[in-house]
């Protein structure tokens, strides 16, 4: 019997307009009425994910920063895996030297270089010569989405980040230049203390190698005294793989890439067609409301 459902946000619970549909909200609440715990498992920071959920009346457990932090329904942090400050300094110094846009997620905010938006805008201008108009529009929307996150703190230099007495959870780097982005991944692949994944094709995200959505979900299930063969996960991106591989019931979104779909037991509708609601109703043997 299903007892816990983990749901990714971007590309999964969010539709193409980056909103949570009424059908998805109703499905989550119906699952909860049947005694099923629902957890949001996202690469986003806790305060950003919490604000998004609160806005639509959801008060779920939240796994944030790709598994580096877990918060209860009441907003209490119940587990966290930090990055070492020396690693953070090494990484963001290199990213800044190489003119990357980056974000550092901590317990107090998301630190972003003041020059970051300009860096991405210049890269977007370069896309016009090599990409379709549709791809450029999507990329512009992604930039606006990133800069709409709650808790952003702008800094002039990486040293301002290191001076903070914060807990460091995740570093995100973004570039629309594929060669540049791949060079960044290659730069840090050798750091065995890191785990590297991506939530969008244009980014890569680094956390402590012990942190992942899969590890966090297992830790939460244990705390809730739920057997892991009673857990379902729904996702669409490479940063969801750790939880999709581990659970008994794995669901890929219809908009997920083939590498995600082949890992899963079931492929639901796309995020634009309320795929989360369809997956939940199928799992709880309920009809999808019209």
Q: Which residues are catalytic?
A: 8
Distance of alpha carbon 61 from alpha carbon 72, whole angstroms: 5
| Pair of tokens at residue 110 | 């998301």
| Pair of tokens at residue 39 | 């957890």
Distance of alpha carbon 119 from alpha carbon 115, whole angstroms: 6
State how far Cα 222 lies from the chain centre: 22
Give me the residue label for tokens 């896309």: 127
Do the strands 4-7 and 37-41 form a parallel or antiparallel pair, or are they unpaired?
parallel
Measure the CA dihedral 137/207/154/157, to 10°. Answer: -110
Cα 282 to Cα 65, 230, 261: the distances in Å are: 29, 15, 17
What is the spatial order of strands in the sheet that 249-252 belongs to?
A: 77-80, 69-71, 61-64, 37-41, 4-7, 231-235, 249-252, 266-267
């Amino acid at each position: 019997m299903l007892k816990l459902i983990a749901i990714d946000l971007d590309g999964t619970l969010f539709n193409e307009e980056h909103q949570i549909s009424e059908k998805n909200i109703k499905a989550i609440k119906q699952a909860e009425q049947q005694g099923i715990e629902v957890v949001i498992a996202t690469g986003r920071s806790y305060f950003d994910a919490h604000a998004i959920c609160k806005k639509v009346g959801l008060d779920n457990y939240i796994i944030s920063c790709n598994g580096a932090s877990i918060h209860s329904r009441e907003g209490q942090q119940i587990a966290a895996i930090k990055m070492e400050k020396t690693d953070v300094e090494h990484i963001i110094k290199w990213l800044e030297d190489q003119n990357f846009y980056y974000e550092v997620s901590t317990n107090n905010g998301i630190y972003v270089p003041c020059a970051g938006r300009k860096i991405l805008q210049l890269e977007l201008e370069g896309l016009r010569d090599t990409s379709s108009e549709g791809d450029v529009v999507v990329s512009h929307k992604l930039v606006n989405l990133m800069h709409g996150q709650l808790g952003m703190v702008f800094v002039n230099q990486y040293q301002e980040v290191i001076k903070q007495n914060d807990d460091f959870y995740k570093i995100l780097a973004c570039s629309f230049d594929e060669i540049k982005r791949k060079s960044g991944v290659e730069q840090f692949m050798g750091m065995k203390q890191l785990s590297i994944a991506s939530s969008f094709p244009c980014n890569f995200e680094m956390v402590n190698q012990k942190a992942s959505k899969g590890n966090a979900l297992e830790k939460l299930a244990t705390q809730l005294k739920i057997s892991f063969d009673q857990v379902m996960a729904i996702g669409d991106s490479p940063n969801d793989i750790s939880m999709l591989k581990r659970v008994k019931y794995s669901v890929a979104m219809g908009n997920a890439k083939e590498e995600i779909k082949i890992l899963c037991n079931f492929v639901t509708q796309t995020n634009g067609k309320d795929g989360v609601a369809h997956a939940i109703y199928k799992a709880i043997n309920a009809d999808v409301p019209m």
